[in-house]
Amino acid sequence: MSFSPLKTRPSHDESRDEEDVYTPPRKRNFRKFLGYGLLATLLPGWFVALDIYRHPRVVDLPGLSSPHPFPPQIFERVKKIFEPDERYIGPSNQTHHNWDHLVAGHDALYIGNPKKYGLMEGIGPPFHHENMAHPVPRKFYVVSLLHQMHCLNIVRFHYWQVKQGHPTVSEYSEASWDAHVDHCFEYLRQSISCGAGFSLEGHSPLIVEGEVGEASTVTGWGIEHNCINFEVLRAFQIEQERVYNTTWQR
């Protein structure tokens, strides 16, 4: 008499062992490499996010140090189409006032903690007040962009003085005006050479009434530019002046 081996149902553990044994090795390696690949892909992103969190990035603009005191809203890009604005054209007293208002009457910015930003010694307040401390705190700094606007205003104002034959403003001699205007021309030349604007401007002619032809082939009018938010910069300058005033007002 012969006997056949008794066929029994494998236990749960045995079934799991057999599954482990017969799982195709190629498939197991694929899963392993897929996991490693996914980890390798995600890790750099995690490290970058951690680095940005620990070391916040600043906007990369010419002359902008890190860290800097400017609010980030200044650097939110604003699409602006250049067009002539009558408020800033001509020699009227209102026009002069409008130009002065562009830089709050001066081009300086109060920085309460200049050492935090690694700044050199600043200048005193660009205005006088009754309770001015002595010696005055040298915590005002000229913002290059506002300096350029101030210089353009100086050249513009003196041009109209000469053009209209008006006498030099009493608090400045002619020699002082000449020195200031020369400085402004040179400062503007170097500022423009610094390369802040690369908008491409096409044919946008300047036509002078009663004249034949074009006085200029490119005015830049009607061309869209990608600008900083200058209004926020102006508001920040005025707010910092208010902060400074709280240091001496009683």
Summarised one tens digit per residue, pLDDT across range 90-99 is 999 999 999 9
Per the structure, the complete domain to which residue 96 belongs is given by 72-242
CB 107 within 8 A of CB 114: no
Residues 96 and 157 sit within 8 Å (Cβ to Cβ) = yes
Q: For 225-249, what is each residue's pLDDT tens digit?
A: 888 899 999 999 999 999 988 888 7
Structural domain count, the chain: 1
Q: List, in sequence order, every beta strand (DSSP E) within 176-243.
A: 224-227
Assigned domain for 154 exists: yes
Shortest CA distance to 180 belongs to which of 110, 192, 188?
188
Peptide bond into 135 cis (omega under 30): yes
Q: For residues 250 and 243, give the distance between their C-alpha atoms in angstroms, rounded to a whole number.
A: 13
Is residue 140 included in any domain, yes or no? yes
112-156 pLDDT, tens digit each: 999 998 888 898 888 777 777 778 888 889 888 889 999 999 999
Q: Is residue 176 part of a domain?
A: yes
26 assigned to some structural domain: no
Q: What is the pLDDT of residue 105?
A: 64
Decide if 36 is inside a domain.
no
Q: Is residue 172 part of a domain?
A: yes
Rounded-to-integer distance, Cα 75 and Cα 62, Å? 13
Residue 76 and residue 233: Cα distance in Å, rounded? 11
Give every CB contact of residue 136 below 8 A, 6+ residues apart in sequence: 124, 125
According to DSSP, residue 130 is labeled T
pLDDT tens-digit profile of 18-71?
A: 444 434 444 445 455 445 555 555 555 544 444 433 444 445 555 676 788 999
Task: Kindly tell me the burial class for residue 141, based on how many C-beta atoms sit within 10 Å of its own C-beta (0-12, 13-18, 19 or more).
Answer: buried
pLDDT given at position 22:
36
Residue 230 falls within a domain, yes or no?
Answer: yes
